[in-house]
Amino acid sequence: MSIEIVRTVADLRVRLGDWKCSARTIGLVPTMGSLHDGHLSLVRRSLAATGRTCLTLFVNPGQFGAGEDLAAYPRDEAADVALAEAEGAHLVFAPTADDMYPEGFATQVAVPGLGDMLEGEHRPGFFIGVATVVAKLLVQALPECAFFGDKDYQQLLVIRRLVIDLDIPVAIEGCPIVREPDGLALASRNAYLTADERRRAPALYQAISGVAKDITGGADVARACAGATKALLEAGFSAVDYVTVRDAETLKPVSDASRPARVLAAAQLGKARLIDNVAV
């Protein structure tokens, strides 16, 4: 059986309605496509935990700022559908921007606080775009469970907050970061790296892992983060937006490793802005 693709919310609801009638639980895996093994790990997790898995493919214009890479963002729907099918996903939802944002669309979902700092500070409006599209996808599909990667750790916390605040009856499951053997976190934007930049890119994971190790051993947080920033610039990153240690739930700054924390970083390498994080 070849995988089904639906493109409208109405068709999505018909298909998922059939599954609900036959008492299948539904897992939703929202993505912007250009699938790699990180995305496919979410599909595998959904297949293991639910009866039917729907993968969404939508490069959401709402989460790209002016001057960002919306036009250049890698897209290959045929390859994505083939990968989703090979993995055993049951349905691909690939809406058009017009179907998601029809004429007159005006509503925005904002998660102030969690959504204003870090990525929200460096990419103004980013989390409004993410929260709005994820809220729409969740309400469109009403899955029992939706799967997101720890790779976008702040995004995961924003989404957990919005489903609580909006009473959306879905369990949000965070899934571990899938990495290349040299530590680089898989990301669609890694495609922008030249061969030379690709060799330098694992410095990001090395830097944040070093911070986690150092502060666990009692090192000063600010000094560890400053050292990591210097190492990234020396490794060839052109700008470091942040290397920071935050409370794992609130993302408020922490000054030691006495509570669960996360080291988060964002830095520019050539055309690619890379983000990564590790648990402390």
What whole-number distance in Å separates Cα of residue 263 and Cα of residue 123? 19
Of 9, 28, 32, 254, which lies in the binding site for ligand AMP, with binding defined by CB under 6 A? 32
Q: Which residues contact 109 (CB under 8 A, 6 or more apart)?
A: 128, 131, 132, 135, 162, 166
Count the Cβ atoms, other than its own, within 10 Å of residue 67: 6
The 54-73 contact track toward ligand AMP, x by CB under 6 A, reads: --------------------
Strands (E), the chain: 4-6, 26-31, 52-57, 91-93, 145-149, 171-175, 239-247, 261-269, 272-279
Which residue stretch of 75-83, 91-99, 181-189, 241-249 sits at the interface with ligand AMP (rule: CB under 6 A)?
A: 181-189
Per-residue HEC secondary structure of 41-85 comes to HHHHHHHHHCCEEEEEECCCHHHCCCCCCCCCCCCCHHHHHHHHH
What whole-number distance in Å separates Cα of residue 146 and Cα of residue 41? 13
84 binds ligand AMP (CB under 6 A): no
CB-wise, 28 or 212, nearer to ligand AMP?
28
In angstroms, give the least distance from the CB of 214 to ligand AMP: 24
Of 43, 178, 225, 272, which lies in the binding site for ligand AMP, with binding defined by CB under 6 A? 178
In angstroms, give the least distance from the CB of 217 to ligand AMP: 27
151 binds ligand AMP (CB under 6 A): yes
Three-state DSSP state, 138: helix
In angstroms, give the least distance from the CB of 130 to ligand AMP: 8
Between residue 188 and residue 217, which ones bind ligand AMP under the rule CB under 6 A?
188
What angle, 0 to 180 degrees and rounded to 10, lies between the N-to-C axes of helices 126-141 and 9-21? 50
Residue 39 a catalytic site member: yes
118 binds ligand AMP (CB under 6 A): no
135 binds ligand AMP (CB under 6 A): no
**Interface ranges with ligand AMP (CB under 6 A):** 31-32, 38-39, 41-42, 148-149, 151-152, 175, 177-178, 185-188
Could you give the residue numbers annotated as active site?
39
